[in-house]
Amino acid sequence: MSPRADLVATVGAALGCGLIGGAFFAFSSFVMGALGRLTPAEGIRAMQAINVVVINPVFLAAFLGTAAVCVVLAGISIRSWSEPGSALRLAACLLYLVGTIGVTFACNVPRNDALATLSPDATDAAAAWARYLADWTAWNHVRTLAAAAGSVLLIAAQLVAGRAAR
């Protein structure tokens, strides 16, 4: 890719990581806490609704589009390993791909799928909801930190590359 295309891709990925990290930060810092204050049945119903609504073109474009750009940037970083900022860019991309995308599909989505089948009025719903809140939120913290750190590292990579180009 050209230096300008590298810049656009890196800035785009940094913005995407920041955007997704911010969305996950909202869940970690107050959404899940608010849902936890509801009765278990209300919290389950609310989270079940959120898990349906989140599957939309806007969120998926940001979430998976950032992943696609990170895959491309990771390849560029490996091919241009000796160039300034390449290691930071690769680290950022791996953080997003493993810590955000990987954790989502390995940890959060299975919990969401299990919650989708849970009847909010079942006798074991309150215990299942308590486990869900604790486990899902813990993994969400990981996703949040990975996306935010990816954004910071992508910005740092671009600063290093820009400084070296002067």
Buried b or exposed e, range 74-102, using 16+ CB within 10 angstroms: bebbeebeebbbbebbbbbbbbbbebbbb
Name the residue range of residue 94's domain: 3-165
Q: Can you tell me the distance from the alpha carbon of 80 to that of 8, in angstroms, rounded to the nearest whole number? A: 17
Output the pTM of the full model: 0.94
The one-character DSSP state at 118 is -
Phi, psi (deg, nearest 5) at residue 64: -85, -30
Q: What is the dihedral of CA 122, 123, 124, 126, to 10 degrees?
A: 90
| pLDDT tens, the chain, 166 aa long | 677 888 899 999 999 999 999 999 999 999 999 999 999 999 999 999 999 999 999 999 999 999 999 999 999 999 999 999 999 999 999 999 999 999 999 999 999 999 999 999 999 999 999 999 999 999 999 999 999 999 999 999 999 988 877 7
Tally of domains within the chain: 1
